Amino acid sequence: MEIATTYTEAELPALLKARDWSAFSFLYENYSGALYSTILHIIPEREKANQVLLETFVYIMLNIQHYSIEKGSLFTWMFSIARKLSLRVIKAEVDGLEQHVLDGDSNGYGLYKALQQLTPESRHIFELVYYKGYSYQEVADRHKQTAQAVKQQLSKALIQLRDILK
Amino acid sequence: MNIQEYILSGIVESYVLGIADENDRGEFEQLCTQYPELVLARNKFEQSLEASALQHAVHPPEHLKASILASLQQPTPIASPKVITMQNGNMQARKTNWQPYLAAASVIVLLVCGYLIYQLRSTNSQLLNENQDLQARYKSTDSILNKIIDEQKVIRDSNITVVNMVGTQAAPRSSANIYWDSTSTNVFLVVKNMPKLPNEQQYQLWALIDGKPKDLGVFDASDDKVILKMNNTQKADAFAITIEQKGGNKSPTLEKMQSMGKTNL
């Protein structure tokens, strides 16, 4: 699809608030792929991922007035929404069920390539927290550790990740 | 606080990725207002994360954009604009399941509709009955009015002979008026006060012509306040009312004569 106008990330929120569909179209064309990739990492099933992407954009448009530049970039905000809406789906699905093994279906999506470079331990904790939505305490219970220890391990993973993404 | 240590602690990434808990987020946002270098570090990670995400983008199916636009542009959005707090690491499923509410609402709507239709129908039949009742009353009133008008005509007509029937000794209170039109030979009777009779009996009106009675028809005590058209007679010396069996007799039972009046001739 051809995009008539391009916008900067800074001018988008006000236009989206005013329901400027040209701005929305730009937002979608520019970011849907990145968000979709993240969603697929959490939910490999395409049909469900499609639904979450739809919900993500609807959520973005209905809550754009709550976005604030002081708290981070528009992309960070949207990225976070896509992740949380995805986690909500898998949480609803596995509610009450034990889930020990991470499935390998999400290969190639989201931060997959960056995560490949983490140490296996760091990667495991990062995936549990970021892609499965576990709390520190839940991870700690699973690995017979303290929540504080999990938090420290995750911090290490995050620092590694930052350096990988640089 | 050593801000450099803080920046390198992993909190920046944790915050940007949305993993940090409420307390850490609050602290981070607070410190961002004080330390520009923290904001810089945040911006830097955001940019590298965005760049990586854009690099590994997967294009969603083509039809999805139209679906999203349709969802957003329909008059009532599919999602209510309720704010879901996105700050906590663990977001509970808060999606309201509207289906039972919708089902309940439609049942209520159905019941209300049924009740309204029932109401409408019963009101309709009630109105119909009332209308019929009014029509019947109107007809009856109309016929009474016509009778009164006829009565007035009869009374005013100059050819009319009015005979005041007075009670006999057998029935001193009985009274009636005869209006006799000698031109048209019409005879009208107005009951003023005649005692009620047993069911098997009726009053009978006679014209006396040269001493002989002529039957002019029967009537009841209840026919008061209206004008009764009796049989015609060309001649009459007098009129008499007797009590006879129901339907009348060929000849009057004179001992049962109730009232009598002579024409003024």
Chain A residues within 8 A of B40 when measuring between CB atoms: none
* Cβ–Cβ below 8 Å for A81 and B86: yes
Residues 6 or more apart from B171 whose CB is under 8 A from it? B195, B258, B259
* Cβ–Cβ below 8 Å for A63 and B60: no
What is the greatest pairwise CA distance in chain B?
149
Contact predicate A43/A53, CB 8 Å: no
Residue, of B183 and B16, whose pLDDT is higher: B16
Contact predicate A23/A16, CB 8 Å: yes
Bridge-partner residues for B261, per DSSP? B239
Average pLDDT over residues A137-164: 87
Q: Is the pLDDT of residue B87 over 70?
A: no
* CATH code at A111-165: 1.10.10.10
Q: What's the pLDDT score for residue A102? A: 46
Q: List Cα–Cα distances, A92 to A86, A88, A89, B243, in angstroms.
A: 10, 6, 5, 102
With an 8 Å Cβ cutoff, is B54 touching chain A? yes
Extents of the domains making up chain A: 12-94, 111-165
* CATH code at B160-262: 2.60.40
Interface test with A, best of B15, B24, B65 (most A CBs within 10 A): B65
Nearest CB among A25, A34, A114 relative to B57 is that of A34
Tell me which residue of B86, B6, B80 sits closest to A72, measured CA to CA.
B86
Nearest CB among B12, B49, B90 relative to A135 is that of B90
Q: What's the pLDDT score for residue B77? A: 45
Q: What's the pLDDT score for residue A97? A: 47
Q: Distance from B54 to chain A by nearest Cα, in Å?
A: 5
* Cβ–Cβ below 8 Å for A79 and B53: yes
Closest chain A residue by Cα to residue B45 = A162
Other CB atoms within a 10 A radius of the CB of residue B258 amount to 23
Q: Distance from A156 to chain B by nearest Cα, in Å?
A: 7
Chain B residues within 8 A of A133 when measuring between CB atoms: 89-91
Average pLDDT over residues B204-229: 84
Q: Distance from B103 to chain A by nearest Cα, in Å?
A: 23
Q: What's the pLDDT score for residue B95? A: 57
Query: What pLDDT, in 10s, does the model give residues B114-171?
Result: 878 877 887 888 888 888 888 888 888 888 778 777 777 766 766 778 888 877 776 7
Extents of the domains making up chain B: 1-53, 101-156, 160-262
Range in A47-51, A95-99, A136-140, B98-102 the model is least confident about: A95-99
Q: What's the pLDDT score for residue A27? A: 93
For chain B, what is the mean pLDDT?
81
Q: Distance from B130 to chain A by nearest Cα, in Å?
A: 58
Range in A138-152, B155-169, B221-235 the model is least confident about: B155-169
Range in B27-31, B130-134, B260-264 the model is least confident about: B260-264
Chain B residues within 8 A of A135 when measuring between CB atoms: 89-90
Average pLDDT over residues B1-11: 89
Q: What's the pLDDT score for residue B147? A: 74
* Cβ–Cβ below 8 Å for A110 and B60: no
Interface test with A, best of B72, B80, B83, B85 (most A CBs within 10 A): B72
Closest chain B residue by Cα to residue A157 = B10
- Residue B41 — pLDDT band, cuts 50, 70, 90? very high
Chain A residues within 8 A of B47 when measuring between CB atoms: 73
Residue, of A90 and B96, whose pLDDT is higher: A90
Q: Is the pLDDT of residue A35 over 80?
A: yes
Q: What's the pLDDT score for residue A83? A: 92
Residues 6 or more apart from B193 whose CB is under 8 A from it? B173, B174, B175, B176, B224
Nearest CB among A32, A95, A114 relative to B52 is that of A114
With an 8 Å Cβ cutoff, is B108 touching chain A? no
In chain A the beta strands, taken as DSSP E runs, fall at: none
> Whole-angstrom Cα distance, residue B13 to residue B105?
47
Tokens 């006829």 — which residue? B150
Q: What's the pLDDT score for residue B263? A: 72
Chain B residues within 8 A of A157 when measuring between CB atoms: 10
Nearest CB among A21, A33, A157 relative to B58 is that of A33
Q: Distance from B30 to chain A by nearest Cα, in Å?
A: 10
Q: Is the pLDDT of residue B85 over 70?
A: no
Q: Does domain A12-94 have CATH number 1.10.1740.10?
A: yes
Q: Is the pLDDT of residue A106 over 60?
A: no
